[in-house]
Structure 1
């Protein structure tokens, strides 16, 4: 007798779903075949095999992105998913996203707020208030707005919200003041919203990824003076000795939506252990004081 898919009959909305982590989440919720077959761009490594993440979640997925070409390509790849072009900084677009979802499927059970951006490395004096405002609109206010619009529908079915934050929102990151501020706010908002929505049975959790190998990570590395050294540094940050894959974040999202029924206000770290242990924090340009040994 075949097992019932873990999220069968549920309807999921994913923002920023055309590539990277977002596409990994769309595949995890919406693909009815093994992850190794569905995601050929995920490579097997010494410590990771795509077949380990084979998921048949059984959900209906509506995903959005500003990248229409990428979104349409993924929609063609994954029969049964629905793509809606959407800019999450525009409330009208988000209203259309919700109305299209309800028109297609008549309900909403889970929202994954994934859309976001990490600017290239910059010192505080290189940032501007206008750039910060635009990043807030994308990384934080887009999440807030879609959540507000979705809540009346999620409450009807005791649904759940999953926000994609970042490990650096908790531990910080050099040359990333504005990005860290937006992601720290996403994590804090998750916890506050979990309190407010508990009376309706709506769970609110977040995933904080560490180094996940995505097109954005590759682009950021390419913007540095030595991309290979940057990638190596990112790889060595994890005790597990590799970067994560979008499929692994997708598997975590499916777990939070379908299996973590007694979890709310949780920040789930998907980091390969990057936050563990000690490490060299000072640089050669830092003011360093070493202890003086007694004679």
Structure 2
């Protein structure tokens, strides 16, 4: 994807950017000419992704900064370092989060539930599932006076290392993956680069959109159960 005027030279911060969907978002912005800060607790993965971009010719403008987004002081330091390095910040993609454990509410400890909310709801304004649209709209209204747009992407089944790791833990991994693929009318899971393309669109092309939720689900929300015939 060639760099274009909408993203050339823009500075983008992606939390949870070391792997999976986050890495797909980082790659999409880099390919569109943006300078990207890869923010993650996973220093090994973040450094590896930074090195990958540094080795291309010409070297891409991507740097890794370690940050635990549940710690306010680390977030403040992250923003400060970003501004010192680049002098500006045009876009923040709040991707950091994790999937809830595969257990019922009764089985979940109060501490585990608080930790999940701290990451997905409080940290960097990320939210869990149902609250995402409401918070997006509220922030869009509050920040519009400053010319700031706030939109969100709601991914469905995206094939990531985490999806693969969870599938391996099930009694029949291949059947689990097949069920995941057949949950969408399109008959497959999404890819991290497709989430990245959606993020670039909302950030730099959809300039008159704010408070918008973009479902990235392959149509899974159109009904329930298996959407394609078994193969």
Same fold, TM exceeding 0.5? Answer: yes
1:82-128 deviation digits (Å, cap 9, x = unpaired): 10011111111111110111011000100000000003311121111
**CA contact under 8 A between 1:139 and 1:183: conserved in structure 2?**
no
Larger radius of gyration: 1
Which blocks of at least 5 consecutive residues in structure 1 are unaligned?
Answer: 32-56, 145-162, 166-181, 281-295
Q: 2:3, 2:27 → 1: CA distance?
A: 19
What corresponds to 2:229 in structure 1? none
1:12-67 CA-to-partner distances (Å, cap 9, x unmatched) read 00000000000000000013xxxxxxxxxxxxxxxxxxxxxxxxx21110111111
1:260 is aligned to: 206
**Aligned residues of 1:120 and 1:220 also touching (Cα < 8 A):** no
**Residues paired across the two proteins, number:** 219
TM-score normalised to structure 1 length: 0.71
Secondary structure at the residue paired with 1:219? helix
Q: CA 1:89–1:260 in structure 2 vs 1: closer, same or farther (change >3 Å)?
A: same
Residue 51 (structure 2) aligned to one of 47, 72, 76: 76
CA distance in 1 between counterparts of 2:133 and 2:48 reads: 31
Using the alignment, how far apart are the partners of 1:279 and 1:14 within structure 2? 33
Supply the distance in 2 between the matched residues of 1:125 and 1:81 (Cα, whole angstroms). 43
The equivalent residue for 2:58 is none
- Aligned partner of 1:231 in structure 2 is 177
1:196 matches 2:131 = no
DSSP-derived class of the 2:218 partner? coil
**How well do the aligned residues superpose, as a CA RMSD in angstroms?**
1.6
Question: Contact 1:88–1:142 at 8 Å: present in 2 too?
Answer: yes
Once the 2 structures are TM-superposed, how far is the Cα of residue 227 of structure 1 from its aligned partner? Answer: 1.6
Tell me, yes or no, if the aligned pair for 2:3 and 2:33 is still in contact at 8 Å.
no
Match of 1:211 among 134, 145, 157: 157
Counterparts of 1:120 and 1:95 in 2: how far apart (Å)? 29
Asked if 1:127 corresponds to 2:98, the answer is no
Matches within 5 A, 1:68-217: 68-79=43-54, 80-144=61-125, 182-217=128-163
Distance 1:3 1:203 in 2: 22
In structure 2, C-alpha distance between the alignment counterparts of 1:242 and 1:93, rounded to whole Å: 38
Q: What is the deviation of 1:4?
A: 3.9
Aligned-residue offset at 1:256: 0.3
Q: 1:201, CA displacement in angstroms? A: 1.4
Structure 2 residue matching 1:78: 3-state secondary structure: helix
Query: Helix, strand or coil: the match of 1:269?
Result: strand
In 2, Cα distance between equivalents of 1:253 and 1:132: 28
Whole-angstrom CA distance in 1 between matches of 2:116 and 2:168: 21
Q: 1:62 aligns with which of 14, 32, 37?
A: 37
The answer as to whether partners of 2:183 and 2:225 remain within 8 angstroms in 1 is no
Normalised TM-score (structure 2)? 0.90
